[in-house]
Structure 1
Amino acid sequence: MRGDFFWSDEAACAAMAGQWAGTLKPVLQQGGSAIIELRGTLGAGKTTFTRHLLRALGVEGRIKSPSYAVVEPHEAEGGLPIWHFDFYRFNDPQEWEDAGFRDLFGSAGLKLVEWPDKAAGLLPPPDLRLNLSSVDETQRQVQVEAGTDQGQAWLSRLIQEGTPHG
């Protein structure tokens, strides 16, 4: 299943992130897990979307890109665990295994993954995959694909609700 969305500006990105937070929160609050891959070129909006999603889930404090640290842990409202990964600097997919990320991906909570292709073949299937492409400085085309049954249910709901802005 696939859904196509459009962000006319950052406010549209934030609105969609808020909508997604409402969809994901009940599953995470019940101890569930979710994996979301974010794909796109540098500057496409992967980290921007992640920041808005984390804020919508109740994460407070500074939210920085994990480009150098590879992973940034967060805790959302109610103690929900979230990990934001950025594998851009990986030279070999085996680095994912060597870093011990298999355990994190097998645990409850939300995993947001930028540059998942750098850990090709080792990551579990994502529930949702966002493919972001820049139309111009502020506008983005967003193609969302479901990779699991859970992801299909979420994407169906998001498509039915429509985009809240943009």
Structure 2
Amino acid sequence: MMEFVYTEKEIQTVAKKLIQEYPSKIIAFFAPMGAGKTTLIKALVKELGGVDEVSSPTFGLVNEYHDREGMPIAYHFDFYRLNDEMEALDFGVEDYFSSDAYIFMEWPEKIPSLLPDNCIHLKIDILEDTTRKITEI
């Protein structure tokens, strides 16, 4: 099982390792508020060659990020404000899962029965103010 302990200065290295180590492009991040999910996703999008500004899609549910040619390379979901899984289905989340782009999800515990079988489940723990630990669960 994979585990990384890192600080924000090392986050780009962790992003690179995650992309290299995991064959699936669908990653669910389980972590408490303030654990750095968006910061890590920002590093992942940068590692993939994304040119868009990365921010949490709290109100829009999903942000789309592109490479220099304008091709979508990642979709970033934040399910925090969902009331139930039907809202995700109505939004068309399953269509995104079948795309060829990376899928990064914050608060995936809001849609447990919708997560695809090939989804990587990663937990981020806060160890200290600037130190985090990622564990595959």
Q: Same fold (TM over 0.5)?
A: yes
Q: What's the CA shift for 1:80?
A: 4.7
Task: Provide the secondary structure at the position in 1 that maps to 2:14.
Answer: helix
Match of 2:103 among 89, 104, 111: 111
Give per-residue Cα distances to partners, 1:71-91, cap 9 Å, x unaligned: 001113563531000000001
Determine which structure has the larger helix proportion and give its number. 1
Is 1:52 the equivalent of 2:51?
Answer: no
Query: Number of matched residues?
Result: 136
Range that drifts further, 50-59 or 75-84: 75-84
Instruction: Map 1:16-165; keep pairs closer than 5 Å.
Output: 16-22=14-20, 34-76=25-67, 79-145=71-137
Highest Rg: 1 or 2?
Answer: 1
Aligned residues: percent identity? 31
C-alpha distance in structure 2 between counterparts of 1:13 and 1:129, whole Å: 18
CA contact (8 A) 1:67 1:88 kept: yes
Q: What's the CA shift for 1:126?
A: 4.3
Structure 1 alignment gaps of length 5 or more? 28-32, 146-166
RMSD: 1.9
Structure 2 alignment gaps of length 5 or more? none
Give the partner amino acid of 2:12.
A
**TM-score scaled by length of structure 2:** 0.89
Regions of 4+ moved over 6 Å:
none
**TM-score scaled by length of structure 1:** 0.74
